[in-house]
Amino acid sequence: MIIIDFWLQVLLLAVLFDILFGEPTAFIHPVVWMGKMINVFSRGARHRKIYGLLMMISCVGAAILAGFLIISLGTGLPSLIIAAYLLKSSFSIRMLLVSALGIKKDLEVGNIGKVRNDLKTFVGRDTSTLNKSQSASAVIESVAESFVDGILSPLLYFVVFGLPGALAYRMINTLDSMVGYKKEPFIDLGYASARLDDIVNWVPARLSVAFIFIASVFFGKPADAIKTCIKDHGRTASPNSGWPMAAVSGALNVRLEKVGFHVLGGQFNEPQPFQIKTAVNIVGFSSFLVIAGVFFVGNVPLIRI
C-alpha cells in the first residue's frame, strides 16, 4: 500500500482542482481577496516608499499567518480540502494554457479585434495596434513568463516553506502586479513590492531554463533554447522574465518582440499562431516536470514539505 505524505496529498488535490475546475469565481478566489486587501492599503495612501514597505510587510505577513492557521487545523479531511484550495490559488496551469490556445484559435480565423481585447488580461502592453505576429509574440512571451510566476515559483516556495511560503509568494506577486509599476502613481508606493518580487523570482527564473530545455527535447530545439537564453536573457527590463522568454524563443526558433522595449531571438522569423500551441506544449510539459519534481523532493527523507 502506498502512503502519501499529507502535504503531497494537498498538492495532488490542488493540481486536480486546477485541471478539473480551473479558477474559482471572483467571490471566493483567494487572490481576489488578496487584491482587495492591497486596495484597502493603497486607497488614499501617501505614495511614499516607507508606506509601501509597511504595506508589503503587512500583506505578506497576513498571507503567511493564513498559511500557519491552516497548518494548525491538523491533517483531517477538512484541512486537506481547505489547504488544497488555497494552494491551488497560488498557481494556475489550466487557465494559462487554455487562454493561450483560445487566442491562437482567434488568430487563425482572423478575429484580431477579439485577440487585442483578450490580450489586455494577458500582457501589460498596449494591444490596440498589434498585428497577427505581434499578438502571437505577446501570447508566447506571456506563457513563458507565467511559467515562472504562475507555476514554478509558487510550487518551489511550497517545497521550501510549505503552504505559508506558497501564499506569501502569491501575495508578493499580486502586490507587484497591482502597485509595482515603474511609473506614477506607484513608483514609490510599489517600490518595495517590485524589488521583493524580483528577489523571490530570481532563482525560479533561472531554474526554469532547465525545465524548458528538457521539454524542448520533445517539442522544440533544446540547443537553440540554451543559446538564445544565454545571448538574450538580459535584454528585458525585468531581471527575471528574459530567462524563460528567451529560452522559449530559442526552443521555437521565433523572434519575440515587445515593440519599443526588447527583441529576443532576433535572428529568427516572427512567430505564427500555430507556434502558440508548441509554446503551450513546452510550458505544459515543463509544469508536469515541476509537479513530478515536487513529489520526488517530498519523498526524500531529509526534505519534507
**Domain ranges (residues) in the chain:** 6-298
The reported pLDDT for the residue numbered 133 is 93
pLDDT band at 227 (very low <50, low <70, confident <90, very high): very high
Mean pLDDT value across the chain: 92
Long-range contacts of 222-231 (CB under 8 A, 24+ apart): 222/251, 224/250, 224/251, 224/253, 225/250, 225/251, 226/250, 228/264, 228/265
pLDDT in tens, 58-112: 999 999 999 999 999 988 999 999 999 999 999 999 999 999 999 999 999 889 9
Taking a C-beta distance cutoff of 8 angstroms, is the pair 133, 270 a contact? yes
CA dist 251 → 15, 168, 179, 222 (Å): 26, 32, 33, 6
Q: What does pTM read for this prediction?
A: 0.93
What confidence score (pLDDT) does residue 83 get?
96
Instruction: Provide DSSP, the chain.
Output: -----HHHHHHHHHHHHHHHH-SPPGGG-HHHHHHHHHHHHHTT----HHHHHHHHHHHHHHHHHHHHHHHTT-SSHHHHHHHHHHHHHT--SHHHHHHHHHHHHHHHTT-HHHHHHHGGGT-SS--TT--HHHHHHHHHHHHHHHHIIIIIHHHHHHHHHHHHHHHHHHHHHHHHHHH--SSTTSTTTTHHHHHHHHHHTHHHHHHHHHHHHHHHHHHS-HHHHHHHHHHHGGGSSSTTTHHHHHHHHHHHTB-EEETTTEEESTTSBPP-THHHHHHHHHHHHHHHHHHHHHHHHHTSTT---
Tell me what the mean pLDDT of segment 32-42 comes to: 92
φ and ψ of 125, to 5 deg: -135, 165
Digit-coded pLDDT (tens) for 254-273: 999 998 899 999 999 999 99
